[in-house]
Structure 1
Amino acid sequence: MKDIDIAVIGGGAAGIAAARTLADAGRDVLILEASDRLGGRAHTVHVAGLPIDLGAGWLHSAPKNPWVAIAEARGFAICRARPRWGEQWRGLGFSKAEQDGLWSAFAAFQEAMATPPPSDLASDLLPPDGEWNASLDALSGYINGAPMREMSVTDWRAYDEAAINVDWRVADGYGALVAAHATGLRAALATPVTAIDSSGTRLRIETPRGAIIAGTAIVTVSTNVLASGAIHLPGHDAILHAASELPLGLADKLFFTLEDGEEVDANAHLLGNPRSAITGTYTLRPFGRPVVECMLGGEGARAMEQEGLDGAAAFAVGELCGLLGSEWRKKLRFVAGSAWGRETWVLGSYSHALPGKHGARKVLATPVDSRIRFAGEACSEGEFSTAHGAYNSGVTVAKALL
């Protein structure tokens, strides 16, 4: 039976940030990670010699994002080219006038958020039978991982007010950067925590590989894992209830290698179907590489997880060929994809508050027992759903223990 000072449960961005802060301060800390790798929802894989981010991919709010300085200190190159999400390459299937119509509708929605409706439901701010309502649902899926009818206006506003609209990328992968920040830290992989017993003077943490005794614990697992009851936490009903009010939405990615696509601008963007909530947003030749990256969110991600990766890939190829021509079918080869809702130790992508439940974030971050703290993107009141929000949450909790 191991006896340690501090156990960090979960080896994602928050857990790594907390453990790094504590270890650098000379504390005895051990990361307990249920999966076989560190990084959590930041996960870089290499396909055809190219780094691909299956999870977090953008350094959101880059001027204040702590991962920027970490990247520079660790020798990771940062790409500062602006994303082109608001453009449709060559206007394919989506004319300039239509694009202007969609973005005007989105701007009107953002203005309406200044006065949340009594329901706090984002969908209640949409005009009845609005021309762009389906596309706005798709946008909510990409931004929040959930459709408008499940979104808290107050929560969404809190994110917008905290965000800086500058987004950069890590050339070698955001997931690789997060994992690199754990270099030298002690970690037990494939070690899921099943219970935390706080009845004694020290915590008894149960795992399939044996019990661990710790003075304190920082829990950084996802809200969906917490709400599922996967970790038995007596005396923490308020915390678990708060987690259930902050469910993870879905945002999944598909990647295709691209042959003979040099005529396409680097980082060009396409929206698959601007009239549907179930559609992909595509980045063509990100970083100038021979790759196409598809992101599906909300309704689209849910539908495609039901189809499975092969079915999702077929859907994406169909959308691309519909815009670019049938000859593109021969140019694209599906090589990697994510289905975060099916990841046992995560069960989703990033958190959003249910309508009227933005206050659950503060509840989740407020300890019931001073020896057991909670951290992660869902604990942030304005930087949730991001790797930098997770990082800042982990550092805050670690400093509180120090």
Structure 2
Amino acid sequence: MMSLPSEVDVAIIGAGAAGLGAARALENSGLTVIVLEARDRVGGRGYTVMAAPDITFDVGCGWLHSADKNSFVKIAGQLNFKIDKRHPPWREQAFGDVFPPKERAEFIEALDAFFDRAETAAKTGRDSAASLYLEPGNRWNPMIDAISTYVNGAELDSVSVIDTHAYEDTGINWRVRRGYGALIAAYRAGCPLALNTEVKLIDHSGRGVRIETSQGTLSARKVIVTVPTSLIAGETIRFHPALPEKVEAACGLPLGVDNKVMLAVSEPKALPKDGNLRGATMRTAMGTYHLRPFGQPCIEGFFGGRLARALEEAGDGAQAAQAIDEIADYLGNDFRRKLKPLAESRWAHDPFARGSYSHALPGHAGQRAVLAAPVDGRLFFAGEATSPKFFSTAHGARDSGERAAGEVIVALKE
């Protein structure tokens, strides 16, 4: 941590994966750099806590998605973070008979058929809501929509079919045993950092760029903005002169809501390690449950979309209550006494996130490129929402920060 300098070559706004990626890319450039972070920690939407002495909880991102192309895999190796390469249990039902194999197979068949129709539609180049490609009357449609709430943080009627198709999923998903958020925090290394420094205004009307923060004012030759789209769309950070095209792009790339709740299990041996629990509820408003992640004595619940937002609005404890009710419905009412709430995320109420990760609204798939474009050779933009293929991921964010840092170096040579 450092005090606020009066002038730097490059100021980076935000110490999430994108901001840290930019800072690390510039560390041997000879440029003076500072990362300005509103929170009292690094990592942004990547954050690991100990929910209990024996339970690690990734409050934010928890999976190394597309691990064969994920830049954090190499970083984990360099920092001696052990990677768990076991196949995730998302499509399997490892416990109970609440989702019988025959019905599960029918659901997966319907889900895959939906993805095929959506892919065909996206290739036409005409954007629309992904919900249009649900098969009319298919009994599994509500649960297919539930998958969208987990993947996008929003239901299919709010998701661009072209944007969904653009996401690159290699199907390889690994985990970090000590926590993805812990890995991102360790990646920070010696980045020059000012915490508790909320940026209010980026004034690019003069020759340099003046940045007003809660800790004072500084100037920079170049600025890399890595904050979530919600803060740009809501103009929590203002630009002078205004950048209406950036605000419009950010509005077209809102953050969906995905939240987790961690429950301790008093009799963990009654559950399989790394199992999955999800019922054939025929509802979109439903949770999905990871049983004993890493073999820990807990259940991690996951809620998305409108249900996640409603549970946040209902206040503390609502997510745990919902999770316990659903699990008791699946496993029997006696199971309630074995569950104890430990921790939860509330990303929509986090003032520096206001959501989980971005999705493009129907008709707005092209806004990622608009948001990523530099302005006047002085303002540069990064973050998961600017990634063309790996949006909504930590590695997509990190890579975008590295990309923006490269743009800064090129601009300084011109």
Q: TM-score, normalised by structure 2?
A: 0.94
Are 2:197 and 1:191 aligned? yes
Q: Identify which of 251, 259, 264 aligns with 1:252.
A: 259
Moved more, 387-396 or 126-135: 126-135
- Give, as a single letter, the amino acid of the residue that structure 2 aligns with 1:376: G
Listed as ranges, the matches of 1:349-360 within 5 Å are: 349-360=356-367
Alpha carbons 1:278, 1:303 under 8 Å: kept: no
1:155 equivalent in alignment to 2:163: yes
1:66-81 matched pairs, under 5 angstroms: 66-81=71-86
- In percent, how many aligned pairs have the same letter? 44
Aligned to 2:236: 230
- Count of aligned positions: 400
The unaligned stretches of length 5 or more in structure 2 are 410-414
Corresponding position: 1:285 with 2:292: yes
8 Å contact from structure 1 (residues 242, 361) kept in 2: yes
Structure-2 residue corresponding to 1:218:
224
Partner residue of 1:82?
Answer: 87
Residues in 1 aligned to 2:86 and 2:22: alpha-carbon distance in whole angstroms: 30
Among 104, 123, 128, which residue is 1:120 paired with? Answer: 128
1:273 CA displacement: 5.2
Verify the 8 A CA contact 1:10 1:34 in the aligned structure 2: yes
Indicate if the aligned counterparts of 2:48 and 2:57 stay in contact, CA closer than 8 A. Answer: yes
1:35-88 C-alpha deviation (Å, 9 max, x unpaired): 111000001011222321000000000011010110111011100111011112
Residue 100 (1) aligns with residue 108 (2): no
Aligned letter for 2:59? Answer: L
Residue ranges of structure 1 left out of the alignment (5+ in a row): none
Q: Match of 2:44?
A: 40
Secondary structure of the residue aligned to 1:282 is strand
What residue in structure 2 maps to residue 55 of structure 1? 60
Q: Which 4+ runs in 1 deviate beyond 3 A?
A: none
Aligned mates of 1:385, 1:321 — CA distance in 2: 32
Q: Distance in 2 between matches of 1:255 and 1:379?
A: 30
- Say if 2:30 is the partner of 1:30: no
Match of 1:341 in 2: 348
Q: For the residues of structure 1 that align with 2:127 and 2:385, how far apart are their CA atoms?
A: 22
Deviation, structure 1 residue 119: 5.5
Paired position in structure 1 for 2:180: 174
Counterpart AA for 1:126: L
- Residues 273 and 280 of structure 1 are in contact (CA less than 8 Å); yes or no, is this contact kept in structure 2? no
Deviations 1:135-179 (A, max 9, x none): 0111000011100110100000000xx221000000000001001
Match of 1:302 in 2: 309
Q: Determine the C-alpha separation between the residues in 2 that align with 1:264 and 1:27.
A: 53
User: Are residue 164 (structure 1) and residue 148 (structure 2) matched?
Assistant: no
- The CA deviation string for residues 232-269 of structure 1, in whole angstroms up to 9 with x for no partner, is 11241111110100000011000011111213211000
Partner SS for 1:115: helix
Deviates more, 1:360-369 or 1:304-313: 304-313
2:210 is aligned, of 204, 210, 224, to: 204
| TM-score, with structure 1 as normaliser | 0.97
Cα distance in structure 2, aligned partners of 1:183 and 1:323: 45
2:194 partner letter: A
SS at match of 2:120: coil
What SS does the aligned partner of 1:256 have?
Answer: strand
Change (3 A) 1:92 1:241: same
Supply the AA of the counterpart residue of 1:102: F
**1:4 is the counterpart of 2:8:** yes
- Is the CA contact (8 Å cut-off) linking 1:138 and 1:300 kept in structure 2? no
Aligned mate of 2:69, from 48, 60, 64:
64
- Distance in structure 2 (CA, Å) of the matches to 1:139 and 1:106: 9
Task: Single out whichever of 345-354 and 301-310 deviates more from structure 2.
Answer: 301-310
Q: Give the structure 2 partner of residue 378 of structure 1.
A: 385
Aligned AA (1:130)? N
Please tell me whether the aligned partners of residues 41 and 56 of structure 1 are also in contact (alpha carbons under 8 angstroms). Answer: yes
Cα contact 1:272–1:320 (8 A) shared by 2: no
Maintained 8 Å contact 1:7/1:29: yes
Question: Which stretch of the first structure deviates more once superposed, 383-392 or 106-115?
Answer: 106-115
